[in-house]
Amino acid sequence: MVSLDGATSRHVDERPGVEESATDELEDAVRAALKRFKWLGAVLGVTFLLVLWELLAVFVFEGKHIMPTPLGVVGGLWQNRVLLRENAGITLSEASQGWLWGNALAIILALLFVVSPPVEAALLRLAIASYAMPVIAIAPILNIVFGGDKPKVVLAAMSVFLTTLVGMSAGLRCADRTSLDLVRAYGGGSWSAVTKVRLWASLPSLFAALRIAAPAALLGAIIGEYLGGTSGLGVAMINAEQSLDVTRVWSIALFASALAGAGYALTGLVAKYLTPWATSVSTIGAPPAVGSSRRGRVYRAGRSMLFLLISVGITVLVWTAFVRLLHLNSYFAKTPLDVWKYLTQGQSAPGNRAILLNELTVTLRDASLGYVFGTILAVIAAMAVVTSRAVETMFMPIAVVLRSVPLVAMTPLIALALGRGLLSVTIIAGIVTFFPTLVNVVQGLRSASEESLLLMRSYDASRLTILRKVQVPSALPSLFSAARIAAPGALLGAVLAEWLSTGKGLGFYMLEASTESQYNALWSGVTLITVVSVAIYAVVGVIEVPILRRFGPQG
């Protein structure tokens, strides 16, 4: 019988073995064809997506003015080609600047973190907080503070910063231990280890992060335009929605998705030539150490608490300095002290806290369902991608398209199609969760020990058994790494849906506060959602340790 990797097994079965051999030979033939014609799978995947789109537009949403047909959108692209060309240059300029600034700062901080762990312990939570801020709520504030194109550049930079910081930090720490010891043996210090070993080892993880950052930067810029711009693709979407031109909305969204997908593909192409030794997808994040003594855990817990207090202090100082040094008007720019007074002092403080907590409960419910939904689908898709080259070549282009769709424009349409209730919020939060989880879990499944895989195949283990006993445990660290990004992302996705469509939760609470100029309430909402996101990030790390110790890869 022919095994999965083409090697001859140790014995030959009867008739069932012949059938398995024929099946394996067919799979090998399919793999060979797909390897020779790599573009064929992508074409089939896109074709499947277009057919599904056509069926939904014709048989499900016909007459509802929600979803035009693919041909209608193509016609809209041609009719609006001048509009798209004029606005695309503005959005790409904002996204490119944000991509450069956000990634540059992330890379510099990652280098500093690996050289000085105490600096990392003090500043990492501040970095997480910058990612966890609901951009849809702070965009109006940034428009008031800066004006011009700067708010869009800032939002684009914020959209890429943490992903690249986590990916670069993980890559720097994955350097070969023997090479690091050799540098030290020759008298090299921390920076020598970074420049001679760690920097090169980090390139696969860095490029994996940059691939995710490319669509994120564009979407960050579009959100900024959507919430306070005068030109760009985001503004063009607003104008199309206000004129009820659904075809133009879809055309702009598809065009933006194509630009984001092109950025993803271009980054991947550069990575392929600069890091030919890397796997096709690299993980974003790194697992923590899991084997430690009780005394060590107690010590680290106390040390973590100390650095948490330091991080809070630094965050408060940076926030206050931001308001004071820029001489911002106290009417709309609130300090931590203002938020504290709003929530703790005066007769209205108990009511303010109660409203915030009630709305937070709704948002957490929405985000939790979306996260679970997106994670389950991502894990199933990752298993299918790893076990079938055909599925990978067909499905990954669709996944990239989903990641590249500007949800800020499509959320109102999703709400019109599915209602302004829990289902819409769940789908939006699930979409935000899906892509980073898929990327990480795919790499985790592929990181299984080759020796373990060969051992299982030598015993004629089925593909499902190999997946369950070897590949899934190897993917657990990557799943938790994805959760650090995806769980806070799901929360922000829920806030986005609530802000734009549902009329419930913290998202709608902050929208009302913004439109009614209740800036104390707005800043309190931003603060609460940021604190909860950072807490979720930390809780994922706490849960990760015992689970990896029990079920994760050993050694």
**Would you say the pTM of this structure is higher than 0.75?**
no
- d(Cα 205, Cα 489) in Å, to the nearest integer? 20
**Which of 290, 273, 267 is CA-nearest to residue 439?**
267
Residue 489 backbone class (left: φ over 0; alpha: ψ -120 to 50; beta: rest): alpha
**Which of 410, 452, 422, 427 is CA-nearest to residue 554?**
452
pLDDT reported for residue 11 = 43
Residues of the chain where predicted confidence (pLDDT) is lower than 50: 1-20, 280-283, 285-294, 555
For residue 235, what are the β-bridge partners? none
Task: Count the neighbouring beta carbons within 10 Å of the beta carbon of residue 118.
Answer: 11
- Tokens, residue 54: 């056509």
Look at domain 68-286 and name its CATH class.
Answer: mainly alpha
**What torsion, rounded to 10 degrees, do the Cα atoms 503, 504, 510, 513 define?**
60
What does the DSSP 8-state code read for residue 61? Answer: S
CATH number given to 334-555: 1.10.3720.10
pLDDT reported for residue 358 = 93
- d(Cα 485, Cα 481) in Å, to the nearest integer? 7
The sign of the dihedral angle between the CA atoms of 272, 278, 279, 285 is negative
Listed in sequence order, the residues at least 6 apart from 356 whose beta carbon sits closer than 8 Å to its beta carbon are 343, 506, 509, 524, 525, 528
The sign of the dihedral angle between the CA atoms of 285, 290, 292, 294 is positive
> Which helix H or strand E contains 458, and what residues bound it?
helix 450-458
- Tokens, residue 149: 């194109």
Query: Cα-flanking dihedrals φ and ψ of residue 269, to 5°?
Result: -65, -45
> Which helix H or strand E contains 286, and what residues bound it?
none
pLDDT reported for residue 1 = 39
**DSSP result, 301-354:** HHHHHHHHHHHHHHHHHHHHHHHHHTT--TTT---HHHHHHHHHSSTTHHHHHH
pLDDT reported for residue 12 = 41
**What torsion, rounded to 10 degrees, do the Cα atoms 533, 535, 540, 543 define?**
-160
pLDDT reported for residue 23 = 53
The three state secondary structure string of 144-173 is HHCCCCHHHHHHHHHHHHHHHHHHHHHHHH
Domain boundaries, the chain: 68-286, 334-555
